[in-house]
Amino acid sequence: MNQRIPPYLQNIKFSTNKLNSSQKEAIKKALYSDSISLIQGPPGTGKTTVIKEIIQQILMQIDKLDDTSRILIVSQSHTAVDNIIEGLIEMNSGQWNIIRIGRTENISAKVEEKCTIGAIRKNLFTDIKEKSNAYIEQKNLMYKDILDKKMVERWSRIKDIQADWINRCSNLETLDYQVIKSATIIAGTCVGFLSNDFVKDLDFDYVIIDEAAKATTPELLVSIIKSKKIVLVGDQNQLPAYADQELSPIISQLTKDPKYRLFDLLFNVLPDTHKQILTVQYRMKRNIGNLISQVFYDGKIATEVDDKNRTHPIKKFEGKSIVWIDTSMMNGKDEDRLKGGSFCNYIENTIIKKLLECFKNENVIKDLDIGIITGYRGQKELIRKSVSNGGYDKISKKIDINTLDAFQGRENDIIIYSTVRTKNSIGFQKEKERVNVAFSRAKDLLIICGDMDFFYKFDDPDNKFVEIIDYIHEHEDECLIISGGEL
């Protein structure tokens, strides 16, 4: 492999000294590969940092070689695209032309201001207008003493033509085409970048696809076929591509099967020279990180977090970072099926209200982010209504309440997870990817609310709650099990 490494890549100088060894390896493999490379980024392992460094290294090569290479950056979500672009804006200082494709309402304010076609066109037009006006003022001074009528008329026509040209520049498609053609980086969602006709016709030297494990095969292919070198970044142990079970049960089932997911397939067949796992996480306290590593990543993920600086302020759970509030022995603990087919659990909703009341009384979380996650739309709506009616949405800096599908890519100081189910089946919570996403959002405190006995005894080979509950029992120094009735 070393024999094929171009001279300018043999001694890479990273732009930061904060990269760990697995991140450096991922960057090198992405740059060394002559075709495709994969990076698996478990929760909190800094995959966005890696992507930004890969892009910066490519851009440094372009500058060094006076190259005209073009990079396409895409992701499943607008937020992920904007996170990368915002980082590049900070590193960039206007040195590289970056264009963000997409609807304005889906783009962050910072990116919209600097990187959309509309913003670039406006800035370019302003620059053209200022230079043109300066030129006219200069020539006006030159011609003011000229008495030749023909010369004066000629200069007047020139000014009219120039004014007309400036006016046309403000909305000409040709200006957009030139803006796009001259861009070094074009970014958008996996399919959204094709919404621009000019971009649709371009080819790229590099494509970097974030959240690649969450994209469907067609979504990946529309980007892959446009490029010579491909970098896929994702995590097959987090949420897979989504397909509506009711609209297309067959496609929905296929998206859940690793045998039919392109990221999984490629990760399994590519040699180690073309793939890398990021192995150090910086998000979660050590105990939470160890749970995630042990249950979902075979113990391969280390933690580099200083727990002394990451203590949560909840006195009731002092010294604990994982808490299970157990409803097994409570009356009225059972789930309810709603008319629309979703589930809710009134006891768990009541417990969550008690938790928030406790937080409110302690008055210590006003600067914290709280996330309340559940697998079911019915439970989400029930909790949202209770939180709003009780005024609990004002007790901290931010309270997010949503289904786990909406939480990938987010993180919160405290996560409260409502399991909901109590009979027959644990539902799609037997899908390890969903549970992994839900639990790995927590930075300092993870609180699980639900029927521990039911989840432990549910007989299914994919049920990860058995390992989770075993871990909690084995680490009583940092974990706590408390009955919901004692709260």
pLDDT tens figures, 216-238: 888 899 999 989 999 999 999 99
Helical axes 149-169 vs 117-143, angle rounded to 10°:
170
Helix (H, G, I), strand (E, B) or coil at 281: strand
Average pLDDT over residues 166-183: 72
Q: What is the pLDDT of residue 1?
A: 43
The pLDDT of residue 302 is above 60: yes
The domain spans of the chain are: 2-96+184-278, 120-176, 286-486
Could you tell me what percentage of the chain is helix, strand and coil, using 3-state DSSP and rounding each to the nearest 5?
50, 15, 35
Q: Where are the beta strands (DSSP E) in 327-472?
A: 336-337, 343-344, 369-374, 398-403, 412-418, 442-450
Q: CA 400 → CA 29, 109, 360, distances in Å?
A: 37, 21, 16
Look at 4 and 64; give whichever has higher pLDDT: 64
pLDDT over 70 at 9, yes or no: no
Per CATH, the number for 2-96+184-278 is 3.40.50.300
State the pLDDT at residue 90.
84
Residue ranges with strand state E in 97-203? 98-100, 185-189
Listed range (58-72, 249-263, 403-417) with the worst mean pLDDT: 249-263
Q: Which residue has the higher pLDDT, 451 or 164?
A: 451
- Which candidate, 362, 251, 273, 241, places its Cα nearest to that of 31? 273
Name 398's bridge partners: 369
Lowest mean pLDDT among 176-185, 280-289, 377-386: 176-185
Does residue 161 surpass a pLDDT of 80? no
Provide the pLDDT confidence category of residue 180 given band limits of 50, 70 and 90. confident
For residue 171, pLDDT beyond 60? no
**Could you tell me the pTM of the whole model?**
0.86
More confident residue, 95 or 53: 53
**Tens of pLDDT along 319-347?**
999 999 999 999 999 999 998 889 999 99
Return phi, psi of residue 17, to 5°: -95, 15
Question: At 72, is the pLDDT very low, low, confident or very high (cuts 50, 70, 90)?
Answer: very high
Identify the pLDDT of residue 93.
54
Q: Do domains 2-96+184-278 and 286-486 have the same CATH topology?
A: yes
Q: Which residue has the higher pLDDT, 319 or 406?
A: 319
Q: Tens of pLDDT along 203-214?
A: 899 999 999 999
Spatial separation of the C-alpha atoms in residues 156 and 153, rounded to whole Å: 5
Superfamily of domain 286-486: P-loop containing nucleotide triphosphate hydrolases (3.40.50.300)
pLDDT greater than 50 at residue 2? no
CA dihedral sign, ordered 188, 191, 197, 199: positive
Residue 244 has pLDDT above 50, yes or no: no
Q: State residue 259's pLDDT score.
A: 58
Mean pLDDT across the chain: 87
* Closest CA relative to residue 379, chosen from 351, 345, 412: 345
When comparing pLDDT for 123 and 277, which is higher?
Answer: 277
DSSP 57-88: HHHHHHHHHT----EEEEESSHHHHHHHHHHH
What pLDDT shows up at residue 249?
46
Retrieve residue 448's tokens.
């699980």
pLDDT in the model for residue 117: 83
**Mean pLDDT, residues 86-92:** 84
Flag whether pLDDT at 306 surpasses 70: yes
Q: Phi-psi bin for 150: left (phi > 0), alpha (psi -120 to 50), beta?
A: alpha
Q: In which element (H, E) is residue 51 found?
A: helix 47-65
Q: Supply the Cα-derived Rg of the chain in whole angstroms.
A: 27
Q: What is the pLDDT of residue 4?
A: 59
Which whole number is the average pLDDT over 17-35? 95
Q: Which of 15-19, 172-176, 278-282, 412-416 is the least confident region?
A: 172-176
pLDDT the model gives residue 251: 47
> What pLDDT score does 191 carry?
84
Residue 246 binned pLDDT confidence (cut-offs 50, 70, 90): very low
pLDDT band at 10 (very low <50, low <70, confident <90, very high): low
Name the token pair of 467.
Answer: 């390992």
Per-residue pLDDT for 272 more than 90?
yes
- Cβ(305)–Cβ(46) below 8 Å: no
Position 71 pLDDT exceeds 80: yes
pLDDT tens digits, one per residue of 431-480: 999 999 999 999 999 999 999 999 999 999 999 999 999 999 999 999 99
Contact 185, 97 (CB under 8 A): yes
pLDDT at 155: 65
pLDDT value, residue 256: 55
